[in-house]
Amino acid sequence: MPQDITTPVKQLVEDAKKVIEEISAEDAIAMHGDDNVVIVDIRDVRELHRDGRIPGSFHCPRGMLEFWIDPASPYHKDIFAADKKFVFHCASGWRSALATEVAQRMGLKPAAHIESGFSGWKKANGPVEMPE
């Protein structure tokens, strides 16, 4: 029997966007380099190798996000305990909307995401670092 998916991913993303802060690529570029901001790249490592990354961003694979945020987790990363603003991004803004919602629900704040993702960052001429 086929599955009956009642809530499509597009709806999940739309619902997340109702409760999170979205920032434009231009605003994110203006925040780049601010010591009080951590740009968190949740894309797959293959995307980083293929497309590059935002210089100085912190890479957290989407599948590890909750584990790295939770201080009680054996996988916790200290960066998520910092008193900073966390700005998430993926390639186009869908995964990062969901990631921002869950991070916020877990208590990470302030948290936001780049509404157009890394593709928007590149279109807005944000700096990109390519792997060697």
CATH 3.40.250.10 correct for 10-123: yes
Q: Residue 117's pLDDT band (boundaries 50, 70, 90)?
A: very high
Interacting residues of 127 by C-beta distance below 8 A, sequence separation 6+? 32, 54, 55
Gap between the Cα atoms of 36 and 65, Å rounded: 20
Residue 132 has pLDDT above 90, yes or no: no
Cα–chain center distance at 75: 18
pLDDT 10s digits, 78-114: 999 999 999 999 999 999 999 999 999 999 999 999 9
Burial status of residue 106 (CB atoms within 10 A of its CB: 0-12, 13-18, 19 or more): middle
